[in-house]
Amino acid sequence: MERSVTPEAVVAEARAWLGTPYRHQASLKGVGCDCLGLVRGIWRGLFGPEPERVPPYAASWAESRAGDGDPLAEAAGRHLVPLDHRPPYEPRAGDVLLFAFRAHLPARHCAVATGAGTMIHAHDGASVTEVALTPWWRRHLARAFRFPDAA
C-alpha cells in the first residue's frame, strides 16, 4: 500500500529522535545514531523497512578523497527525490540536506530541514539536536533531496 508522507510528518519523525546520543553507524531512536542513522530511522518511521543495506563507512569525513565517488549522494539519489539546491534554494521542512566539508570532496554529513532556517542532525560528541541552518552550513550544502511523496 502506498503511503503519502507530508513534510510535517517528516519533521515530526525527525523531532522524535531529539536527544538520541551519537553512535557511529547506529540507528536506534533513543539509544544511538549518527547522521545517516537518523535519516535511516526517519525512513523506517515513515515507510517501513530500509530499501537497501548500508555498507560500513568511516567515522571521519576527513578520510574522504576526491575520486572516491560520492556514496552518500548516490544512495540518496536511489531512494529520495533530488532537488535543485543551487541558490536561491531555501530548504523546506522535511528536505534531506547533504553537506561536503571541502568543495572537492564527497558529501559526508546529512540533516533534515525543519523549516524557518533550522535543521535536525546528529554529530560526534553530541546528541541529535535541532540547530540553526547558519551561513556556514549553507556554504557547505552539497545536495538536497526530499522523501518520496513529501510534497
pLDDT digits (tens, 9 = 90+) for 54-97: 888 877 655 555 566 889 999 999 999 999 998 899 999 999 99
Full set of structural domains in the chain with CATH: 7-50+69-146 (3.90.1720.10)
* b (16+ CB within 10 A) / e for 129-138: eeeebeeebb
Q: What is the CA radius of gyration of the chain?
A: 14
In terms of pTM, does the model score above 0.85? yes
Does the pLDDT at position 12 exceed 60? yes
Helix pair angle (35-47, 7-15), 10° resolution: 120
Helix (H, G, I), strand (E, B) or coil at 14: helix
Please give the Cα distance from 96 to 26 (Å, whole number).
18
